Amino acid sequence: MSVTLAMLQKEVRPYGKIGKYLFEQMVAYNDSCADSPEWRTARAGASGAARPWDFC
């Protein structure tokens, strides 16, 4: 299931400290993988691409 950061910001972040923590962790994870060529390929929807969590 794909979830955008905007969706997480709207639906998760408002739930107190835990929501803020979870949202910030996902943003940090996305930032840590942003320079990976595999991450860009997976985000572009290329067939057979590794899932982002398989290589970060």
Q: Is 15 inside a domain boundary?
A: yes
Q: Is 53 inside a domain boundary?
A: no
Domain region containing 40: 5-44
Q: Is 23 inside a domain boundary?
A: yes
Q: Is 55 inside a domain boundary?
A: no
Give the integer Cα–Cα distance in Å for 54 and 39: 10
Q: Is 32 inside a domain boundary?
A: yes
Q: Is 54 inside a domain boundary?
A: no
pTM: 0.61
- Kindly state the percentage of the chain with pLDDT values over 70: 62
* Highest mean pLDDT (candidates 4-8, 14-18, 35-39): 14-18
Q: Is 56 inside a domain boundary?
A: no
Number of domains in the chain: 1
Higher pLDDT, 46 or 15: 15
